[in-house]
């Protein structure tokens, strides 16, 4: 059975970004399965996508996930929406660090074999800010989880956010934090671009140290 580690805000492995972007009066105790030091693997990119995603952006997101895997950029997400789940499947085939944050507690959580293998290989970290009695995902927990993920990351990528959606609200929070918000250049993403989102290809090449990221 995989062991759950509890991280208080004074723990040396407690993520500093959570302290920086979270309400300090309500810093959660974080539960972890895996090596908490994977949180120190930088840079870290958060991945989000609304439940419904336009076809052309699906293809671009597939290509991006493959490139993130090959360039070994650390990724973090709830991996809950269909597109996010597809990204996780691709990323698990690589060797780069992955932080997976479900919208529920880790207690009595059944993990797929692929997750257990990645944890044992020290490349997947399961992380949750929720209490043991919060064992069932709800819309409220998912929203809080998404803000937690965005707070932890160095930059936040949103493949697509429906207008007036919770994902678009999250994008507004990221901009308010003055944290890099990234997306694809597309008419479908004009709402994110209007908020101040930057092109992910250019940002990764200029800021994450990968000078020839081949995103199609």
Residues spanned by the domain of 58: 5-207
Has residue 213 got a pLDDT over 80?
A: no
Give a yes or no: residue 215 inside a domain. no
Residue 203 lies inside a defined structural domain of this protein = yes
Q: Residue 94 contacts by C-beta under 8 Å, 6 or more apart in sequence?
A: 69, 70, 72
Total domains in the chain come to 1
Asked whether residue 66 is assigned to any structural domain, the reply reads: yes
Q: What's the pLDDT tens digit per position in 44-82?
A: 999 999 999 999 999 999 999 998 888 878 999 999 999
Is residue 75 assigned to a domain? yes
User: What CATH number does the domain containing 15 carry?
Assistant: 3.40.50.450
Is residue 214 included in any domain, yes or no?
Answer: no
The reported pTM is: 0.92
131 in a structural domain: yes
Q: Is residue 62 part of a domain?
A: yes
* Residue 212 resides in a domain: no
């Amino acid at each position: 059975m995989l062991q759950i580690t509890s991280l208080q805000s004074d723990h040396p492995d407690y993520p500093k970004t959570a302290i920086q972007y979270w309400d300090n009066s309500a810093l959660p105790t974080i539960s972890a399965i895996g090596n908490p030091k994977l949180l120190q693997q930088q840079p870290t990119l958060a991945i989000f996508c609304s439940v419904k995603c336009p076809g052309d952006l699906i293809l671009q997101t597939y290509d991006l996930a493959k490139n993130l895997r090959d360039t070994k950029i650390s990724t973090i997400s709830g991996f809950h929406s269909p597109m996010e789940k597809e990204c996780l499947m691709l990323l698990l085939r690589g060797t780069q660090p992955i932080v997976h944050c479900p919208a529920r507690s880790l207690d009595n959580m059944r993990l797929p074999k692929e997750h257990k293998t990645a944890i044992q290989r020290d490349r997947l970290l399961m992380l949750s800010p929720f209490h043991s009695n919060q064992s069932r995902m709800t819309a409220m927990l998912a929203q809080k989880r998404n803000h937690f993920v965005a707070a932890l990351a160095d930059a936040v990528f949103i493949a697509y956010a429906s207008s007036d959606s919770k994902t678009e609200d999250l994008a507004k929070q990221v901009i308010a934090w003055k944290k890099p918000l990234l997306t694809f250049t597309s008419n479908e993403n004009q709402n994110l671009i209007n908020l101040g989102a930057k092109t992910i290809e250019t940002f990764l090449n200029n800021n994450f140290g990968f000078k020839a990221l081949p995103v199609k």
